[in-house]
Amino acid sequence: MLFMGEMMTQFGSVIASIMFGYAMFQQYFPYDLRRYLTKYTDKIVGLVYPYIHITFNEYSGDRFKRSEVYLAIQNYLSTNSTARAKRLKADDVKDTKSLVLTLADNEEVTDDFQGVKLWWTSYKSTPKNSTFSWYPNSDEKRYYRLTFHRRHRELITTTYLSHLVQEGKTIAIKNRQRKLYTNGSGERYYGGKQTKWSHVLFEHPASFDTLAMEPEKKQEIIKDLLKFKKGKEYYAKIGKAWKRGYLLYGPPGTGKSTMISAMANFLDYDVYDLELTAVKDNTELKKLLIDTSNKSIIVIEDIDCSLDLTGQRKNEKEKGEDEGKSKDPMKKAKEEDNNKSKVTLSGLLNFIDGIWSACGGERLIVFTTNYVDKLDPALIRRGRMDKHIELSYCGFEAFKVLAKNYLDVESHDLFSTIERLLGETDMSPADVAENLMPKSDEDDADKCLKNLVDAIEIAKEEAVKKKAEEEEAKLKAKEEEKVKTEKEKLEKESETKTDEVKVKCKCGNGTLDKEVKEETGS
């Protein structure tokens, strides 16, 4: 069965053959006759073939980035024309909410715009020399072709196309389901391209409302994020790439990961959870960066554990030791292979603010760590990590947020006790939250708050005990050190005396005493 657009294409081929014959004809006929014939042949071709084709390639110009117009057409057709298509593709089947039906390859649909009929065909072209593979060929080219009558040229090329792109973008925003990406070993195929990222739907329920922290600090972060989101023009004006770095630091369970989810939900961004230890080298790191989309948060959790970030700054002695370890080239190669990730500090710095980091806009880069002091200052200097946020132990304000979320309680008799206890004890919001959760169906707010008070009191006692034990251990270590030093001193003194006696015995008189004493330093 031939499509309308296809028929017109074939019809076009016939005309092309005629034109070819005509070209040959041109070579052998006098100029005047040719001119005469050309004039009339063009008119005849124009009369019998009145259709215009426009092609929209999936990758045009930039081979890393899918064409926005192509994506807009895909969205537009998936909503407006798929009802009429017979063969469809369900692209994101896993994401049930955002199941997108698009035209299957080489399928044709019609569209209607202000009473004008148009034909859209989806094409896939495979390079002729490609070998058989179970996986999609990354050299495959996809494109849409629009066919319409030339009498509507003006209407289609201006009004219709801009209407379509606008509509396509609106549909994309409406259908958009945010994703949580992660990198692992092996390549995947997505959107017809090879990528190291794999993804699931991002459905974390955290929000700034449920995040327990001091209200002023929270507002400051929200304000900063809003400024960034709306900052396209501002960043262009100051000549900076539209990205921002956040460093979240604090003890375990204080809400660093939760805050990242809250940020993603607040900004409506995707999340790329970058596992640095799984990245082979700096080149792969760069490739991963290029593969991220705009409107996203790139996260590196526990940055202090991800890399040997002091590796670049080894002192000469350490360097020598390392070199000594691997003099044998075979052994050296093996050692290097065993060392999985070859991402270096400079590779990571380039990732954050090198030239490639500006290849897309609207991106946040977030690092988390429990030990901010362990990090190389170059990594977290302002400009790279623009905002440093400390997440600390649960204070009374943070507790009130948790009490409201977990128990729906805004005030209670026990609140003052809890305020005092939290002021005296370090307890993470994760531990407070855990204690606020009912342990059985009978547990009401009173019981949960009582449980919390008990838990903080126990934690306080333990902290006091731990502190006392630490003090004791410190005292003991000091005492031991003192005893050791005294012992060493006594040993040294007795050694000196023995030397003196030996010399006296040897000489048989006391004439050399003075010299010996000088020699031994006593």
Ligand X SMILES: Nc1ncnc2c1ncn2[C@@H]1O[C@H](COP(=O)(O)OP(=O)(O)OP(=O)(O)O)[C@@H](O)[C@H]1O
- Helix axes 445-507 and 396-407, enclosed angle (nearest 10): 140
Query: Considering only residues 73, 146, 211, 427, which one is a binding residue for ligand X as defined by CB under 6 A?
Result: 211
Q: Which of 41/370 has CB closer to ligand X?
A: 370
Q: Does 255 bind ligand X (CB under 6 A)?
A: yes
Residues in contact with 288: Cβ distance below 8 Å, sequence separation at least 6, in sequence order: 183, 196, 197, 272, 274, 279
Cβ closest to ligand X, residue 74 vs residue 435: 435
- Rounded Cα distance between 285 and 291, Å, is 10
Which region among 94-102, 134-142, 255-263, 266-274 touches ligand X (by CB under 6 A)? 255-263
Do the Cβ atoms of 351 and 285 come closer than 8 Å? yes
* Partner from ligand X, Mg ion, none binding residue 433, C-beta < 5-8 Å depending on class: ligand X
Nearest-approach distance from CB 371 to ligand X, in angstroms: 10
In whole angstroms, what is the distance from residue 217 CA to residue 254 CA?
14
CB of 442 to ligand X, least distance (A): 23
**Tokens representing residue 62 in the block:** 């930039």
Cβ distance to ligand X smaller for residue 164 or 262: 262
Q: How far is the CB of 258 from Mg ion (least distance, A)?
A: 8
- Tell me how far apart the alpha carbons of residues 192 and 175 are, in angstroms, rounded to a whole number: 20
Radius of gyration of the chain (CA): 37
Decide if residue 306 touches ligand X (CB under 6 A).
Answer: no
- Closest listed residue to residue 517, CA positions, set 506, 504, 509, 325: 504
From the list 123-131, 263-271, 425-433, 453-461, the region that binds ligand X by CB under 6 A is 425-433
Q: Which of 429, 449, 452, 456 binds ligand X (CB under 6 A)?
A: 429
Binding test (CB under 6 A) with ligand X, winner from 46, 184, 252, 320? 252
Q: Given the complex with ligand X, which of 298 and 391 has the nearer CB atom? A: 391
355 to 374: interface string for ligand X, x by CB under 6 A: ---------------x----
Report the C-alpha gap between 227 and 235 in whole angstroms: 11
Residues in Cβ contact with 87 at an 8 Å cutoff, skipping those fewer than 6 apart: 103, 104, 107
Which entry of ligand X, Mg ion, none binds 253, CB below 5 to 8 A by partner kind?
ligand X
The item of ligand X, Mg ion, none sharing an interface with residue 8, based on CB under 5 to 8 Å by kind, is none
Query: Which residues between 11 and 70 bind ligand X (CB under 6 A)?
Result: none
CA 202 to CA 184: how far, in whole Å? 18
DSSP three-state, residue 298: strand
Q: Does 183 bind Mg ion (CB under 5 A)?
A: no
Closer residue to Mg ion (CB): 71 or 305: 305
* Residue 195 or 257 with smaller CB distance to Mg ion: 257
Binding mask 456-495 for Mg ion (x = CB under 5 A): ----------------------------------------
Binding flag, residue 264, ligand X (CB under 6 A): no
Helix (H, G, I), strand (E, B) or coil at 246: strand
Name which of 75 and 257 has its Cβ closer to ligand X. Answer: 257
DSSP, collapsed to helix, strand or coil, labels residue 77 as helix
- 369 binds Mg ion per the rule CB under 5 A: no
Residue 78 has phi, psi (to 5 degrees) of -65, -25
- The answer to whether 253 contacts ligand X (rule: CB under 6 A) is yes
What's the distance, CA 227 to chain centroid?
20
| Positions 373 through 402 that interact with ligand X (CB under 6 A) | 391
Among 69, 73, 212, 375, contact with ligand X (rule: CB under 6 A): 212
Q: Please pick, from the candidates 81, 82, 257, 425, the single residue that binds Mg ion as defined by CB under 5 A.
A: 257
Report whether 391 contacts 213 (CB < 8 A): yes
Tally Cβ neighbours within 10 Å of residue 424: 12
Pattern 209-248, binding to Mg ion, x per CB under 5 A? ----------------------------------------
The number of beta carbons lying within 10 Å of the beta carbon of residue 408 is: 8
Single out the residue of 432, 371, 391, 398 nearest to residue 221, CA to CA.
391
Sole window of 161-169, 204-212, 254-262, 307-315 interacting with Mg ion (rule: CB under 5 A): 254-262
Distance CA 366, CA 256 (A): 10
Beta strand pairing call for 88-90 and 101-103 = antiparallel
Among 122, 258, 296, 306, binds ligand X (CB under 6 A): 258
Instruction: Say how far apart CA 444 and CA 237 lie, in whole Å.
Output: 56
Contacts with Mg ion, residue ranges (CB under 5 A): 256-257
Contacts with ligand X, residue ranges (CB under 6 A): 210-213, 252-258, 370, 391, 429-430, 433
